[in-house]
């Protein structure tokens, strides 16, 4: 049984923490300054609250699961303490950013394992995979045994886990943003009904898929902005065009900049489209 520190449990982190608890580990988190919703999720997942310093000093393994724009800051805070255990960055960040996190972590005296989570917050087996890569990946892969979270070694280079997460999310979240842009274009041009009728004939999944994309963007778009920027940077680093994900970042930024709309779904959808369309329609 291992003592694991979790920085900082959101929806995904709390579920991953719950899997580690169900596998028999003690999972520490730091409740200071966190929201009531976060605290509720951490309690439900049976995570153990403690201060940041004792979390770091007591943990053999620390998981960083946070919005991608915070990944480097979290690593710096841990490295400053002189932490010498195992540090797993499981965030949606580019290989270049993961390399910077690794450099910060190893300079501080700890070992780095690269991670990437694909799938929804794990609550039933078979849907969520934690990809891991790097020299000590196998030690981390042993932790969530017999839980809803499946650990997999990502064969390939040291930062394969981050790389596969980028390439995967490039499609899923890239297409969601693109779909919102297509439907917003049709609305702006006065042909949304015609497009919906054509989709009904030849792209039957898209009317509902665009509704779901709007709903997801409204609730989670705020943390996808940086993820899209990390993917855009990954594309550039590989000599590929960054435009898809720069545009996706812009779409999610427009939605989230205007706050999360209330939960009524009809209102939601129109509000999201209105937020995306910066010109009067």
Rule CB under 8 A: choose which of 62, 206, 218, 226 binds a second copy: 206
**30 vs 230, beta carbon nearer a second copy:** 230
SS3 49: strand
CA nearest neighbour of 246 among 159, 181, 190: 181
Of 53-61, 100-108, 187-195, 261-269, the segment contacting a second copy by CB under 8 A is 187-195
> Does position 171 bind a second copy by CB under 8 A?
yes
Would you mind telling me the total number of residues written for the chain in this entry?
281
Burial of 274 (0-12, 13-18, 19+ CB in 10 A): middle
DSSP output for 104-143: HHHHTT-EEEEEEEESSSPSSTTSEEEEEESTTHHHHHTT
> Does position 242 bind a second copy by CB under 8 A?
yes
Cα 76 to Cα 92, 130, 254, 260: the distances in Å are: 17, 23, 30, 30
Count of residues binding a second copy (CB under 8 A)?
62
Q: What's the closest the beta carbon of residue 77 comes to a second copy, in angstroms?
A: 28
**52 vs 168, beta carbon nearer a second copy:** 168
**16 vs 154, beta carbon nearer a second copy:** 154
Rule CB under 8 A: choose which of 54, 84, 106, 203 binds a second copy: 203
132 cis-preceded (ω within 30 degrees of 0): no
Q: List the structure tokens of 250.
A: 């812009």
Q: What's the closest the beta carbon of residue 216 comes to a second copy, in angstroms?
A: 16
x-or-dash string of contact with a second copy, 247-266, rule CB under 8 A: xx-xx---------------
> Does position 96 bind a second copy by CB under 8 A?
no
- What is the pairing mode between strands 3-7 and 61-64? parallel
Burial of 100 (0-12, 13-18, 19+ CB in 10 A): middle
Residues of span 21-40 touching a second copy by CB under 8 A: none
> Does position 194 bind a second copy by CB under 8 A?
yes
- What is the pairing mode between strands 128-133 and 111-118? antiparallel
**138 vs 193, beta carbon nearer a second copy:** 193
Q: What's the closest the beta carbon of residue 211 comes to a second copy, in angstroms?
A: 15
Residues that bind a second copy in the complex, under the rule CB under 8 A: 95, 118-119, 127, 129, 131, 154-157, 160, 163-164, 166-168, 170-172, 174-175, 177-179, 181-186, 188-191, 193-195, 198-199, 201-203, 206, 234-235, 238-248, 250-251, 276-279
């Amino acid at each position: 049984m291992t003592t694991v520190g979790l920085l900082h449990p959101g929806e995904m982190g709390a579920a991953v923490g719950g899997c580690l608890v169900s596998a028999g580990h003690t999972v520490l988190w730091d409740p200071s300054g966190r929201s009531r919703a976060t605290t509720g999720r951490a309690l439900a997942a049976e995570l153990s609250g403690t201060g940041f310093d004792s979390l770091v000093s007591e943990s053999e393994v620390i998981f960083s699961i946070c919005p991608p724009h915070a990944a480097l800051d979290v690593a710096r805070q841990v490295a400053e303490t002189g932490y010498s255990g195992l540090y797993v960055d499981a965030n949606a960040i580019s290989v270049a950013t993961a390399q910077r996190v690794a450099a910060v972590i190893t300079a501080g005296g700890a070992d780095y394992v690269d991670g990437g989570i694909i799938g929804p917050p794990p609550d039933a087996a078979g849907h969520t995979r934690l990809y891991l890569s790097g020299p000590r990946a196998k030690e981390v892969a042993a932790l969530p045994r017999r839980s809803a979270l499946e650990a997999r070694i990502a064969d390939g280079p040291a930062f394969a886990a981050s790389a596969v997460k980028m390439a995967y999310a490039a499609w899923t979240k890239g297409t969601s943003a693109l779909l919102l842009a297509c439907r917003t274009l049709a609305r702006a041009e006065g042909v949304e009904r015609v497009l919906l009728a054509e989709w009904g004939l030849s792209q039957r999944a898209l009317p509902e898929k665009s509704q779901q994309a709007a709903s997801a963007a409204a609730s989670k778009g705020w943390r996808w902005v940086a993820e899209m920027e990390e993917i855009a940077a990954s594309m550039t680093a590989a000599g590929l065009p960054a435009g898809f994900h720069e545009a996706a970042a812009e779409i999610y930024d427009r939605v989230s900049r205007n706050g999360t709309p209330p939960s009524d779904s009809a209102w939601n959808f129109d509000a999201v489209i209105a937020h995306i369309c910066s010109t009067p329609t």
